[in-house]
Structure 1
Amino acid sequence: MGARGGPSTLRDHTTPPPGTPRRATPRPGTADAFGNPTGIGRRQAGLLGERLAGLPVDAVWHSPLPRTRMEP
């Protein structure tokens, strides 16, 4: 469980009924002092992409920080 009693990872969820919207709120990956992803942070982002690749996406929101705009 997470700090507020909720799920701590994407694995800790129940399957909602068909047609129910889902929302994923991933935490930022490891970054350096300037906010740029480290090698570990890039790997974390890649693993998240693999995890979410098969899910339908209607919209994506992100912050203006450099680590949220990196392309593969």
Structure 2
Amino acid sequence: MPELITRRGWLATAIKAEAAPVTTHRAAQLLAASPWPTSGRNTARKDLRALAARGLLVAVDTDGRRAYTPDRSAA
């Protein structure tokens, strides 16, 4: 049986592969190429905030914009 993965789990894994902090815009681009391609910008924003609340991502401010990086200590 194939392993089930949630949209947020998929996004967290995709963000770990990114070299730079991920903005909402970039998260929406990642989700557009995912098994959930109809997810929009608002969904990406909520997913990023939820992943940060769970301790998987860390919110950082880059050039006055909110971005997220993986929490390396959670790995």
Q: TM (normalized to structure 1)?
A: 0.32
When Rg is computed on C-alpha atoms for both structures, the one with the higher figure is 1
Q: TM (normalized to structure 2)?
A: 0.32
Greater RCO (Cα-Cα under 8 Å, separation 6 or more): 2
